[in-house]
Amino acid sequence: MKTILTFVASLCCLLVTAMSGAALDMGNVTGLWLFDEGSGDVAMDSSDSGLDAALMGGPKWVSGKFGSALELDGVGAYVEVPAHVNPTDAITVSMWVKSMTDTWAQHGWFIEKRDAYIIHPNADTKNVSWPICNGGCWNNPGGWRDGEVGPEDITEWHLYTVTFDSATGEWNIYIDGVAESTMTINTDPIDADDGPVFIGRDTCCDDRFGNAIIDEVAIFNVALGADDIQTLMEKGLSASLLTPVEPADKLPTTWANVKAQY
């Protein structure tokens, strides 16, 4: 009996290992911009979507959290991602940001697709909001600033990751891999917006540009779980998504080895 129980426990561990992190996969990536070019006026999309982004207003190439990054001047520098329809059923958006000011100098500029979603820094605070349009804007049945949260020092590098899953209504803001703000909102899908995405600019109003260094931006068409987001925090996007992994037949091979022991 002890041998059988040990065998079953080993099988469970193998299955959990195989299933965990399943969402952290390039097949679930809508766009991935590592900003590792180090020069030029294009940020390549490392996903299969072909959404190579244009650098507008002369952002400066600098050292980043991982490799190179872009320094935005707060005046007119930003990144424009080509028009595409955003994920609607579920979404994760993630980016590294290091502010050049002690509080956010402008509203709303992290990353925005104004008729669908925004990671929205709130001017004169250290907080960020995560307003989405779910059957209307924003965060129905609540408001755009509901759940706003921020770290103690925004002049240090922080990973901001936000999620929404229309199947459950679960809405999250993660900072440095930790869920700092969680709500349950309406389960309506995110409104579809077929326009561009702006990184470092809020097109709502004049002069809303980021004064910060930004690195490793990603959009997923799933709501990543806490373990996957912690992996992004610890390893970065390139190592988490683009580094070769074990062969697909690893589980069956390991399963055969387990059976052989018994």
Sheet strands (E) in the chain: 29-33, 42-43, 53-56, 60-63, 68-71, 78-81, 90-99, 111-113, 117-121, 128-129, 158-165, 170-175, 178-184, 197-199, 212-220
pTM of the model: 0.86
Domains of the chain as residue ranges with CATH: 23-243 (2.60.120.200)
Over residues 227-252, the pLDDT tens digits come to 999 999 999 999 999 875 444 444 44
18 falls in which pLDDT band (50, 70, 90)? very low
Residues 6+ apart with CB under 8 A from 144: 120, 129, 131, 137, 138
Higher pLDDT, 256 or 50: 50
Q: What is the pLDDT of residue 244?
A: 58
Q: Which of 179, 190, 184, 181 is nearest to 229 (CA)?
A: 179
pLDDT band (50, 70, 90) for residue 219: very high
Average pLDDT score over the chain: 88
